Structure 1
Amino acid sequence: MATPDFVLRLREHVGHGPLWLTGVTAVVIADSGEILLHRRADDGRWATPGGILEPGEQPAEALVREVWEETGVKVVPERVASVFTEEPFTYPNGDQVQFLDIAFRCRPVGGAPRPDAEESLEVRWFPPGELPPMDERVLRRIRLAPDEGAAWYAEPAPHPAGS
């Protein structure tokens, strides 16, 4: 994923220190049930498209922009599927991040799958039973997206007695 300019400016001040960032992820499901995935240019792994919110940007707006940039597919976000605080992560260059990820279930409404050559090496539709190997966090988002119920989130810990 290309690093947004606002993160590069922050890195001038904090170096490789931890940054808390908000990410959005699209689980794009076609009428056929196929799922849109792209093979990331940074690590070569298959994943759902997504990215980082720019300052002042709304999550759904960022999601539509990121999916279009990375895959060439136009989408409409249908609902929030899950909200997770991901584990801290260190990029190969030493930059430390931790993401709050908001995953949306989306439906495609136009465009044609194509890699952008900057963030995506390949873009394809996959039947749900024929997904390529992926990180568990990506698979978790896909598993939670088809459910028509409420968005998934980690339940808060119970309040201590007497609070």
Structure 2
Amino acid sequence: MTQDYIKTLRKKVGHEPIILNFSGGILTNNQNEILLQKRSDFNAWGLPGGALEFGESAQEACIREFLEETGLKVRTKSLLGLSTNFIQYYPNQDVAQAVTIEFSVELVEKTSKKVSSETLDLKYFSKDKLPKIFNKQHQLFIDHYFNGDYPFID
């Protein structure tokens, strides 16, 4: 598996539009609240997850990203959905079409691992008290989850 695949790719193409594959998950607590991450790149809330490294499966990426961004070890339970038609414009001027595979995940254990600098805060939110989500693709996954409309393809 190649580490820092996106950094290597971006060194070659700069900020040009590219297609990237992402994976993440929805973790709930006993009150059916979902865990959200306040992201440092957008200073806004979204679902934990991130880009696949070269040679990594979507499930492996979801588990790795959860650990890095939340300090939680999770396992994937089921497919939540697949979204392929969203263009993300990043604050650093990068542009990417985000092909995202989202899972329903369950907690295996909490760790003492320090979370990534990509995470400003972590908090569980109920359906009625969701903060503004940083992009429409993450909001789509959240809506499908709370509507019980999954797995889905968009």
TM-score, scaled relative to structure 1: 0.81
CA distance in structure 1 between the partners assigned to 2:112 and 2:35 by the alignment: 8
Change (3 A) 1:117 1:76: closer
CA distance in structure 2 between the partners assigned to 1:113 and 1:122 by the alignment: 16
Aligned to 1:145: 145
**Displacement of 1:86:** 3.6
CA distance in structure 2 between the partners assigned to 1:90 and 1:149 by the alignment: 27
DSSP-derived class of the 2:5 partner? helix
- Over alpha carbons, which structure has the higher Rg? 1
User: Matched residues, percent identical?
Assistant: 31
Query: Is contact 2:77–2:103 with CA below 8 Å preserved after alignment?
Result: yes
CA distance in structure 2 between the partners assigned to 1:113 and 1:18 by the alignment: 37
**Structure 2 stretches lacking a partner, 5+ long:** none
**Structure 1 stretches lacking a partner, 5+ long:** 155-163
CA distance in structure 2 between the partners assigned to 1:149 and 1:94 by the alignment: 34
CA distance in structure 2 between the partners assigned to 1:81 and 1:117 by the alignment: 25
DSSP-derived class of the 1:87 partner? strand
DSSP-derived class of the 2:86 partner? coil
**Displacement of 1:140:** 1.6
DSSP-derived class of the 2:41 partner? coil
Query: Is contact 2:77–2:105 with CA below 8 Å preserved after alignment?
Result: yes
Structure with greater proportional strand content? 2
Trace 1:2-151 onto structure 2 (pairs within 5 A). 5-111=4-110, 116=115, 118-134=117-133, 135-145=135-145, 151=151
TM-score, scaled relative to structure 2: 0.86
Q: CA RMSD in A?
A: 2.2
Aligned to 1:159: none
The count of residues paired between Structure 1 and Structure 2 equals: 151
**Further displaced range: 90-99 or 141-150:** 141-150
Query: Is contact 1:113–1:123 with CA below 8 Å preserved after alignment?
Result: no
